[in-house]
């Protein structure tokens, strides 16, 4: 069989970049005739992501996966955007010529095979034009759930349902949305939907309108997890949603241990967990982009103390610049209630950014209070750690709604939290932790069953293996 090349590019954010890389690895390992080149966008404004980029660029090729750092483009200035997605979208758009040049070079290197596909992610839609111009089939790799893909594909229709000067929260309390079996309440819409006048909304709408121009969409999910939504997408009109390939879960089982500076002593965290009883510890973590204001941090601390459960809590402070990511706190006593550290000594441990996946894999972890990022949900499912929902940003409120209401796979702590606008009180935190760790055996059993299913999908004739085979056939059909 002839050699074939596929090219990937991702938004420079860990939640997008990591699953893109893992999918590229999985594709090339499944069929050795494929090689993959991943184009990397520099983002010095976010040292955490840039250190990962640098690690990838410096490393030798992983199997048939190669990394290529694009020449740096001018970053957008602070006055050019309001929301994080505005910053990222402009940064990506500024790399259009660099991406096209890289594709031209890869096409000209015919000795390593024909370029049969170019995979962009959900915010890299400007590169669809380069793929069209160079006659390369363009696919979307979607690192969020099928429900959010469906929401995005339905977004232009939603936008047309309300007048131009009306906010969604002022027009209705619930909307019927493609892919959801329940009406979706406005108060769990993504934050970018709550103010249609800022650039965050216009950018999401812009990207959503372009998804239908791709040849197909690969989603990091699996058929048993989101059957209603995936079946809805299959039935949708072709001019709304291209062919969808649920090919997941695709996970990075190593996490950032190889490349992230260990400021909090990961070994000490693991040793502490080794001394805890099995399934006794509740783990609280809000992702690489998640932070909470000090008032909320204090309420969580009081709630954890009241709950009586052992805990491991990753705390990060908000960034000083809207282009940056949260940082680890340097002085915990300044933000925690007086006496909290002493009162919970031995029962609890506070850390900064730690390799989440290795924590979830530890036998001592019995529950996960999560921001409900999709990668985190898939990791929890794989390692069988039940989830308590605490969404903060992006599509996480929709993810929480899906897990609690649509799938009944998670315990609700909060679903409509907006940092700075709402406050989850200590009693709610304590009750939420108790419900997660001690309560609702039905949710736990359902979660355990789905955890077992997510390991079956990659076996021969498993659903994700079958869909990957279909995608490979489609890619090779152009040769």
Question: Above 60 in pLDDT, residue 264?
Answer: no
**Does residue 85 belong to any structural domain of this protein?**
yes
Q: What is the pLDDT of residue 260?
A: 66
Q: What is the pLDDT of residues 268-291, one digit of tens each?
A: 899 999 999 999 999 999 877 777
pLDDT band at 342 (very low <50, low <70, confident <90, very high): very high
Stronger pLDDT, 163 or 130, i.e. the higher one = 130
Rounded-to-integer distance, Cα 192 and Cα 438, Å = 35
Same domain? For 116 and 173 the reply is: yes
Q: What is the pLDDT of residue 40?
A: 97
**Does residue 447 belong to any structural domain of this protein?**
no
Same domain? For 431 and 461 the reply is: no
Same domain? For 212 and 171 the reply is: yes
Same domain? For 398 and 460 the reply is: no
Question: Above 60 in pLDDT, residue 263?
Answer: no
Q: What is the pLDDT of residues 214-230, one digit of tens each?
A: 999 999 999 999 999 99
Stronger pLDDT, 201 or 265, i.e. the higher one = 201
Taking CB atoms within 8 Å and a gap of at least 24, the contacts of 268-271 are 269/312, 269/349, 269/351, 269/354, 269/359, 270/358, 270/362
Q: What is the pLDDT of residue 291?
A: 77
**Does residue 446 belong to any structural domain of this protein?**
no
Other Cβ atoms less than 10 A from the Cβ of 257: the count is 12
Q: What is the pLDDT of residue 257?
A: 62
Same domain? For 95 and 223 the reply is: yes
Same domain? For 424 and 378 the reply is: yes
Stronger pLDDT, 142 or 354, i.e. the higher one = 142
Question: Above 70 in pLDDT, residue 17?
Answer: yes
Q: What is the pLDDT of residues 114-143, one digit of tens each?
A: 999 999 999 999 999 999 999 999 999 999
Q: What is the pLDDT of residue 225?
A: 98
> For residue 335, what are the domain limits?
262-439
**Does residue 464 belong to any structural domain of this protein?**
yes
Question: Rg of the Cα trace of the chain?
Answer: 22
Structure tokens at 355: 């390799």
pLDDT band at 197 (very low <50, low <70, confident <90, very high): confident
Same domain? For 228 and 306 the reply is: no
**Does residue 254 belong to any structural domain of this protein?**
no
Same domain? For 39 and 180 the reply is: yes
Rounded-to-integer distance, Cα 438 and Cα 353, Å = 27
Indicate the range of 119-123, 362-366, 416-420 predicted with least confidence: 416-420
Instruction: Reduce the DSSP state of residue 56 to 3 states and report it.
Output: helix
Q: What is the pLDDT of residue 324?
A: 60
Same domain? For 30 and 95 the reply is: yes
**Does residue 48 belong to any structural domain of this protein?**
yes
Give the domain CATH number at 182: 3.40.50.2000
pLDDT band at 1 (very low <50, low <70, confident <90, very high): low
Mean predicted lDDT score pLDDT of the chain:
91
Mean pLDDT within 193-213: 92
**DSSP-assigned letters across all residues of 292-321:** --HHHHHHHHHHHHHH---EEEE-EEPPSS
Indicate the range of 14-23, 57-66, 114-123, 456-465 predicted with least confidence: 57-66
**Does residue 411 belong to any structural domain of this protein?**
yes
Structural domain count of the chain: 2
pLDDT band at 446 (very low <50, low <70, confident <90, very high): very high
Q: What is the pLDDT of residue 57?
A: 85
Q: What is the pLDDT of residue 204?
A: 95
Same domain? For 318 and 462 the reply is: no
pLDDT band at 194 (very low <50, low <70, confident <90, very high): confident
For the chain, percent of residues with pLDDT exceeding 90: 70
Same domain? For 382 and 471 the reply is: no
Q: What is the pLDDT of residue 390?
A: 97
Same domain? For 160 and 118 the reply is: yes
**Does residue 163 belong to any structural domain of this protein?**
yes
Rounded-to-integer distance, Cα 92 and Cα 209, Å = 17
């Amino acid at each position: 069989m002839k050699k074939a090349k596929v090219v990937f590019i991702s938004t420079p954010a860990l939640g997008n970049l990591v699953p893109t890389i893992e999918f590229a690895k999985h594709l090339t390992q499944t069929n050795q005739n494929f090689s993959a080149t991943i184009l990397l966008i520099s983002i010095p404004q976010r040292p955490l992501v840039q250190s990962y980029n640098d690690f990838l660029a410096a490393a030798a090729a992983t199997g048939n996966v190669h990394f290529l750092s694009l020449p740096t483009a001018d970053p957008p200035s602070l006055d050019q955007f309001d929301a994080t997605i505005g910053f990222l979208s402009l940064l990506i758009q500024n790399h259009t010529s660099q991406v096209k040049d890289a594709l031209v070079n890869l096409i000209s290197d015919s000795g390593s095979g024909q370029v049969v596909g170019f995979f962009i992610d959900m915010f890299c839609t400007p590169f669809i034009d380069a793929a069209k111009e160079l006659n390369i089939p363009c696919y979307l790799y979607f690192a969020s759930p099928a429900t959010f893909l469906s929401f995005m594909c339905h977004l232009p229709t939603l936008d047309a349902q309300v007048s131009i000067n009306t906010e969604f929260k002022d027009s209705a309390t619930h909307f019927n949305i493609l892919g959801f079996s329940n009406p979706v309440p406005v108060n769990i819409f993504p934050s970018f939907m709550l103010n249609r006048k800022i650039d965050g909304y216009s950018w999401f709408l812009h990207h959503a309108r372009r998804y239908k121009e791709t040849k197909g969409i690969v989603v990091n999910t699996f058929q048993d997890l989101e059957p209603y939504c995936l079946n809805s997408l299959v039935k949708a009109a072709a001019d709304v949603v291209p062919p969808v390939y649920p090919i997941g879960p695709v996970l990075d089982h190593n996490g950032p241990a190889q490349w992230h500076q260990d400021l909090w002593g990961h070994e000490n965290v693991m040793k502490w967990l080794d001394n805890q009883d099995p399934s006794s510890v509740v783990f609280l973590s809000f992702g690489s982009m998640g932070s909470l204001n000090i008032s909320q941090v204090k309420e969580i601390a009081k709630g954890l103390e009241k709950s009586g459960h052992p805990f491991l809590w990753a705390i990060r402070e908000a960034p000083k610049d809207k282009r940056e990511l949260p940082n680890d706190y340097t002085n915990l006593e300044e933000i925690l209630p007086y006496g909290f550290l002493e009162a919970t000594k031995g029962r609890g441990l506070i850390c900064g950014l730690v390799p989440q996946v290795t924590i979830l894999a530890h036998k001592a972890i019995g529950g996960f209070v999560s921001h409900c990022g999709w990668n985190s949900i898939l990791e929890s499912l794989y390692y069988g750690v039940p989830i308590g929902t605490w969404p903060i940003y992006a599509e996480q409120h929709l993810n929480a709604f899906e897990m609690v209401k649509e799938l009944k796979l998670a315990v609700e702590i909060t679903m409509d939290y907006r940092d700075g606008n709402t406050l989850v009180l200590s009693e709610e935190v304590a009750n939420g932790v108790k419900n997660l760790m001690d309560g609702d055996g039905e949710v736990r059993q359902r979660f355990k069953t789905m955890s077992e299913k997510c390991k079956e999908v990659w076996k021969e004739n498993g659903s994700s293996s079958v869909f990957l085979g279909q995608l490979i056939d489609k890619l090779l059909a152009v040769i």
